[in-house]
Amino acid sequence: SAFIFIFLQSQDNTLIDNKTHQGLWVRAASMVHPDSIDRIIEIATEMGITDIYAQVVIGGYAYCKTKTLPRSQYLSKISGMKYDPLGALIKAAKKKKIKVHAWVNTLLAWSLQQTPDSNRHVYFTHPEWFIKDATNRSMRYYSYEKWVECGLEGLYLDPSQEEVKNFIASTCQEIAGKYAIAGVHLDFIRYPGTLWGLNINDTTALFAGFEGNDLTWMTFTRYPQMSFLQRWLVWHYWQEAKAKETFITQIVKEIQNSIKDDLQNPGLLLSAAIFPNPALSHYRYGQCWEFWQKVIDYPLAMAYTTNTAFFARLLDYCQSKFPGSIMGIGLIWPEMAIEGNTQYFITRDASAGTCIFDFTALDTMLDRKRLLKRELLIDQALPDMNLRKFSNVFPDQPPAKLLIHTQSQNHNEEINGFWEFLSSLSIDQNHDLNRMGVEYQIYRQNLSNDITAFKNLDSQVFPIPCSIDAPPRRSAVYTFTDWNKDDTIQTINTALNIDEFKREGWFYPEALNELSRSIFEAKIDTIDTCITRAGIYTFKVSEIIPGPEKVSRNSIPAKLLPVYLSWHLINKAKKVIGQY
């Protein structure tokens, strides 16, 4: 097919040849030795790479010269204090006419089990900058097991804080001012998930209990499959989470302003690694990259999948929302050379650029000769994971008693906003409506009914009185066993044979606590286990207090208040709905 060359014009009138862009992400660990630079350039040249995205800020440490951040302790231990990975890479890449971008991990501040070595690290200098979860607990005080169990990459800073925004922008500005880089590349420019970064108030307390776990993911097609109570929570989450999108965009704008002011490098580009699937980027992470067209020069879509048909749909979506998007090909599975090549040609055929994740995969995991042969899948029309049809939508209709309209109720603006939010989670709205077997107007009518019922339910649940029912609580003894990376069977056997417990505590029905949920499902005086991403808890419930005794709101400890309020609100709502 004929290729159409797309030239994307950046904010500073630099022409970016999107079609010929072939990028490569290089992680900091790959540059830690001075002699690694030649190997990076060798492979980049072999693969026809035009742009290298070199990770120079990771875990709150710098792999370059900067006063804003402490130098990586790992880098210093391996290669001493003088070696400058970014400077060395730029010098070597220039000889091969390869552009280098400074890859900055922005909001992800720490990712290791042990605490940072340097007392200059933000972990120690600004503990108040770390983000809080729906239970009002700061991530700064999470244990390693806690954030691993939550499926997180590490500890995040709070993007709503002005100091955090200035800190990240200053870091990018300093690097851009010191090095002859082609651009600044932002990563982890997002929230860690749905249950972090919410404004703590009586409404967001809804998400502090077990029900909050149901909101960790959402799609356009999932919403009508949910119960009425769950949809009520989604509606409230939409209203409360609008600010999260704004805070992320504000940081990107602040970085743009800081680096574009550099008169010594007027052609400096700003890019960002983004999730192409809006169900992730919009809903879970507050990363509305489609609206950054006047802020960044181009996004790099992390379209990591072995499903080539799904990759093609993500490609179409990205190009329709942000022309000039670069498609990231994730070579993160063994024996993925043919799929990677097929994705490469699909992208090229769409006149789009590519970026490979990552150098380590090319160097040690994959057969580059096979990649360079550019073999294609015989049948590119692989089964699409998103073709399943639904037999029933909106099966749990709002109770009739909550569908009574009043003269003051006019929900058109909210219906439009809620529809835009839910439909924005779809790569292809018409395709998904067809899968659900429902027309646009029917979906909207159900949203209208929902919102009427939600508002009437709110009027009976809020405000929260001064005296509320205490949630049930359980006392348990437990021991935690780390996963043995070399022998998972040994870990399981160890956990199953524990008969002495090292810890004890009281547990409440709170979100983001897998052990608590298992304890509430267990029988008293019976040894049981809870398997998590971090390891296995072996526990025994020793006491159960079912509740609900009345307690004064003012008497509740601050760290437990969101969980108490959540229990009160959810159970009051269930009574109104008629589930009790």
pLDDT in tens, 186-232: 999 999 999 999 999 999 999 999 999 999 999 999 999 999 999 99
How far is it, in rounded angstroms, from Cα 459 to Cα 472? 26
Class of domain 7-205+240-372: alpha beta
How far is it, in rounded angstroms, from Cα 257 to Cα 173? 9
Residue type, 536: I
Hey, is 426 helix, strand or coil? coil
Contact present, 231 and 237 (Cβ < 8 Å): no
pLDDT number for residue 266: 75
How far is it, in rounded angstroms, from Cα 390 to Cα 110? 41
Q: Tell me which DSSP letter residue 132 carries.
A: B
| Helices and strands of the chain, counted as H and E runs | 18, 19
Burial label for 514, CB within 10 Å (0-12, 13-18, 19+), is middle
Question: Nearest Cα to 44, choosing from 26, 20, 31, 19?
Answer: 26
Question: Nearest Cα to 422, choosing from 411, 434, 433?
Answer: 433
How far is it, in rounded angstroms, from Cα 469 to Cα 464? 11
C-alpha dihedral, 501 to 505 to 509 to 513, nearest 10°: -60
Which residues are bridge partners to 531 per DSSP? 536
Can you give the residue ranges of every domain in the chain? 7-205+240-372, 400-461, 467-577
How far is it, in rounded angstroms, from Cα 303 to Cα 288? 16
Angle subtended by helix axes 337-349 and 308-321, to nearest 10: 30
pLDDT in tens, 462-516: 999 999 999 999 999 999 999 987 788 999 999 999 989 999 999 999 999 999 9
Q: How far is CA 119 from CA 72, 115, 165, 415, 547, in A?
A: 12, 10, 21, 50, 45
Confidence of residue 11 (pLDDT cuts 50, 70, 90): very low
How far is it, in rounded angstroms, from Cα 131 to Cα 457? 31
pLDDT in tens, 58-67: 999 999 999 9
CA atoms within 13 A on the CB side of 266: 5
How far is it, in rounded angstroms, from Cα 113 to Cα 483? 13
Predicted model pTM: 0.93
How far is it, in rounded angstroms, from Cα 544 to Cα 507? 10
Q: Extract the runs of DSSP E, i.e. beta strands, from 361-472.
A: 467-469
Contact present, 398 and 447 (Cβ < 8 Å): no
Contact present, 56 and 174 (Cβ < 8 Å): no
% of the chain beyond a pLDDT of 70: 93
Write out the two tokens for 325: 């998007």
Question: Nearest Cα to 21, choosing from 312, 278, 297?
Answer: 297
Report the pLDDT averaged over residues 272-291.
96
Q: What contacts 24+ positions apart, CB below 8 Å, involve 413-416?
A: 414/451, 415/444, 415/447, 415/448, 415/451
pLDDT number for residue 45: 96
pLDDT in tens, 32-68: 999 999 999 999 999 999 999 999 999 999 999 999 9
pLDDT number for residue 391: 76
How far is it, in rounded angstroms, from Cα 227 to Cα 135? 23
- Degrees to nearest 5, angle at CA 438 with 435 and 444: 125
Question: Nearest Cα to 173, choosing from 61, 261, 267?
Answer: 261
Confidence of residue 7 (pLDDT cuts 50, 70, 90): very low
pLDDT in tens, 158-173: 999 999 999 999 999 9
467-577 belongs to CATH 1.10.3470:
no
Task: Look at residue 14 and tell me whether its pLDDT is greater than 90.
Answer: no
pLDDT number for residue 212: 96
Domains 7-205+240-372 and 467-577 share a fold: no
Which residues are bridge partners to 123 per DSSP? none
